[in-house]
Structure 1
Amino acid sequence: MPRPFTPKVITANDLLEGDVIYFTTANTWTRHLSEAELITDEAESQLRLLEAEKQNLTIVGAYLADAKAGENGPEPTHFREDFRRKGPSNYRHGKQEAAAHV
């Protein structure tokens, strides 16, 4: 029996900088999960993923990630996505440089 659909966001990596990015309702990419489009319909999620994958000169590795509605926009439901949005863990740089993300 298939699992019921849960809300998703589309995530990928920026092709040039490697940062984690998220697809928005405006068909653009953002580095902030809170600005990502939260997709609640399974068929729509597949269509949106196809739209995101068309931007293959900008992104690499687009996929649907589980998320939930939060107070300030989508939030991850899995530790992997929470880890990805904070950036590399080997030393403090980039996103981890700010105390708010540590």
Structure 2
Amino acid sequence: MKVLTANRLADGEAVWYANGGWAETIDNADVADDKAAEDRLEAIGAAAYANNEVVDVNLIDVTVVSGVVEPVRLREKIRAAGPTNRNDLGKQARPEAARAA
């Protein structure tokens, strides 16, 4: 399974394609579970890149555990949460992350 990720050009924020737009969390990212879905996400990413919305567009491997989308690679886990040495910074420090924990 894969999801589409990028960095928003306006501020560099790591984002994931979800529900027709770019979300700041991976939680609701559109998950591709076959080649056709991957191709669709790649086309969306290419168009967003061409429109100067995002950069560093990539499909990344994920798993879905109990309905929660989780990146497979450590790099992507860090991009999804924030710094590993400071839990008071990054996405994990946001109020909605505290409610989910």
CA displacement 1:27-78 (0-9 Å, x = unmatched): 2110111110111002320222111221122111111000011224311111
Contact 1:14 1:21 in 2 (8 A): yes
TM-score normalised to the size of structure 1? 0.76
Q: Which runs of 5+ in 2 are unaligned?
A: none
SS in 2 for 1:35: coil
The equivalent of 1:59 in structure 2 is 54
Q: Which residue, 82, 85, 91 being the options, matches 1:87?
A: 82
After the TM superposition, list the runs of 4 or more consecutive aligned residues in structure 1 that deviate by more than 4 angstroms. Answer: 88-92
1:42 aligns to what? Answer: 35
CA distance in structure 2 between the aligned counterparts of 1:73 and 1:52, rounded to whole angstroms: 22
- For normalisation by structure 2, the TM-score amounts to 0.76
Unaligned runs of 5+ in 1: 1-6
How large is the RMSD of aligned CA atoms in angstroms? Answer: 2.3
Equivalence for 1:3: none
1:27 is matched with 20
Q: Residues of 2 paired with 1:83 and 1:74: CA distance? A: 14
Q: Return 87-96 or 75-84, whichever deviates more.
A: 87-96
Choose 43-52 or 74-83, whichever is displaced more: 43-52
2:32 is paired with a residue whose SS is: coil
Q: Distance in 2 between matches of 1:63 and 1:40?
A: 15
